[in-house]
């Protein structure tokens, strides 16, 4: 770990004053400290934001609001979440381990870095870590990597489960900086790697994520997060699907589908949704729609299985929701 200066901010304005290039905000620390030990992240200044008043889970006419410093465990168990948005509670509970969920913040979860082994190994090239140094994953160990949204520069999978569920629900994040406050759709917040994989999201230097808002969606009570992984717990997704279903009389009135473990960012699937809307909730309809999910898939040497697995994951998620 490189030497750094540590300060604890007492207010948002104080945190913003200390922010900027070379500074990292510390919340739960479950990503940052790990990557600092590996020297993948080497901030000169660490600003602890845990004392900021960015807490609370509430609901109003606009929807559900979650403070960015809420811990994953607390949000997963909150009645407004479990009652109104099961997909969120499930995505949270199927992330990481209880110990990590007790520490990790909502904001930090959305900003967590990729799990690519090359990103974490400073002895290798990585365009995300060191722009222009190449992407060894393209021809290397890429079983866990993405099949959607990849570029020649980066094929790393976005790691967050929560973000997949939030993207399915059209969530927004509130970003506060010295220049002011703005709300951004989470789906737009994350950037494709393209030629600049070091830019993962639309957060400007010094900006803070202060809260997440999920627009009210009455039929999100029929929603679920289905996750396929290599062991029963504490493991990232090989494929996952966040699905919400407005089902009336056996017909899909409306639907949301986003997938994880397969994309370079949380991956909303509007074409799949369109193919389901107004159709009978039947296996062949689900299968035809799910096939659209992988039309643009670009499998790598070791993750070709994800194409089929993703289709089946979507079908299963829909099937289980119909019940």
The residues of the shown chain that bind another protein, judged by CB under 8 A, are 1, 3, 37-38, 90, 93-94, 115, 117, 120-121, 123, 140-141, 143, 224, 226-235, 238, 304-305, 307-309, 312-313, 316, 320
Q: 294 with 147: CB under 8 angstroms?
A: yes
Task: State in angstroms the smallest separation of the CB of 216 from another protein.
Answer: 25
Q: Which is nearer to another protein, 158 or 172 (CB)?
A: 158
Task: State in angstroms the smallest separation of the CB of 83 from another protein.
Answer: 17
Residue 276, φ and ψ in degrees, nearest 5? -95, -30
Task: State in angstroms the smallest separation of the CB of 174 from another protein.
Answer: 30
Q: Which is nearer to another protein, 31 or 210 (CB)?
A: 31
Q: Which is nearer to another protein, 122 or 181 (CB)?
A: 122
Task: State in angstroms the smallest separation of the CB of 20 from another protein.
Answer: 25
Task: State in angstroms the smallest separation of the CB of 210 from another protein.
Answer: 29
Task: State in angstroms the smallest separation of the CB of 112 from another protein.
Answer: 12
Q: Which is nearer to another protein, 73 or 213 (CB)?
A: 73
Q: 117 with 273: CB under 8 angstroms?
A: no
Q: Which is nearer to another protein, 141 or 195 (CB)?
A: 141
Q: Which is nearer to another protein, 63 or 144 (CB)?
A: 144
């Amino acid at each position: 770990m490189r030497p750094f200066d540590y300060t604890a901010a007492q207010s948002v304005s104080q945190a913003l004053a200390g922010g900027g290039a070379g500074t990292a905000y510390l919340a739960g620390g479950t990503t940052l400290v790990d990557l600092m030990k590996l020297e993948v992240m080497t901030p000169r200044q660490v600003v602890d934001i845990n004392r900021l008043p960015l807490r609370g889970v509430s609901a109003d006419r606009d929807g559900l609001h979650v403070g960015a410093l809420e811990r994953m465990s607390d949000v997963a168990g909150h009645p407004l979440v479990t009652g109104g948005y099961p997909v969120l509670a499930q995505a949270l509970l199927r992330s990481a381990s209880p110990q990590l969920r007790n520490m990790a913040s909502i904001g930090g979860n959305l900003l967590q870095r990729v799990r690519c082994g090359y990103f974490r190994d400073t002895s290798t090239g990585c365009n995300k870590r060191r722009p222009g140094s190449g992407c060894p994953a393209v021809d290397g160990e890429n079983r866990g990597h993405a099949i959607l949204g990849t570029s020649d520069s980066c094929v790393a999978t976005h790691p967050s489960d929560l973000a997949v569920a939030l993207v399915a629900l059209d969530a927004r994040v509130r970003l506060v900086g010295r220049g002011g406050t703005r709300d951004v759709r989470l789906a737009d917040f994350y950037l494709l790697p393209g030629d600049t994989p070091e830019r993962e999201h639309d957060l400007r230097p010094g900006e803070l994520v202060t809260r997440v808002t999920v627009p009210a969606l009455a039929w999100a009570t029929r929603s679920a997060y289905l996750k396929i992984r290599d062991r029963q717990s504490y493991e990232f997704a090989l494929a996952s699907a966040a699905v919400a279903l407005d089902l009336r009389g056996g017909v899909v009135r409306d639907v949301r589908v986003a997938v994880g473990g397969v994309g370079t960012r949380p991956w909303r699937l509007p074409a799949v949704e369109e193919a389901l809307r107004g159709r009978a909730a039947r296996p062949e309809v689900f299968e035809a729609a799910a096939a659209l999910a992988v039309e643009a898939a670009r499998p790598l040497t070791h993750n070709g299985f994800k194409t089929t697995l993703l289709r089946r994951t979507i079908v299963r998620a829909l099937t289980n929701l119909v019940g």
